[in-house]
Amino acid sequence: MTRRLNFAAFAVLCAALPVPQALAETAVATATFKCQSGKSIGAMFYANSVDLKLSDERSLKVPQAVSASGARYADKDETFVFWNEGDTALSEGKGGKETYSCCAVAK
């Protein structure tokens, strides 16, 4: 006796399978920025987001946002914004106050 799975059952089974590593998001660049006051930012850049590791022990995944110049990443309510242009970066907190300033790629 042959059993057939209907499409809905097949979709449920497929959704439960782990995503192959090849389909996972791939980093396009990484950088470590040294900032003013001894702070640092580790950044792993993806096509539409950035993973950040801040020297204050926070880890954030921030989606890319609209920018006229450079790359801008911001959380939904814009209480955290990360800017990157070339070898420089900075981050801003609530109200646009710079929290990590004068950051440059560590060489």
Our measurement of the distance from residue 92's CA atom to the centroid of its chain's CA atoms, rounded to an integer in Å, reads: 15
User: What are the pLDDT digits (tens) for 64-98?
Assistant: 999 888 899 999 999 999 999 999 999 999 999 99
The model's confidence at residue 18, banded by pLDDT at 50, 70 and 90, is low
Instruction: Please tell me which residue, 99 or 20, carries the higher pLDDT value.
Output: 99
Say yes or no: domain 25-105 is CATH 3.30.360.10. no
Q: d(Cα 103, Cα 16) in Å, to the nearest integer?
A: 42
E runs forming strands in 3-107: 29-34, 40-45, 49-54, 59-65, 71-74, 81-85, 88-92, 98-105
Instruction: Please tell me which residue, 98 or 19, carries the higher pLDDT value.
Output: 98
Is the pLDDT at 5 greater than 60? The verdict is: no
Q: d(Cα 68, Cα 11) in Å, to the nearest integer?
A: 41
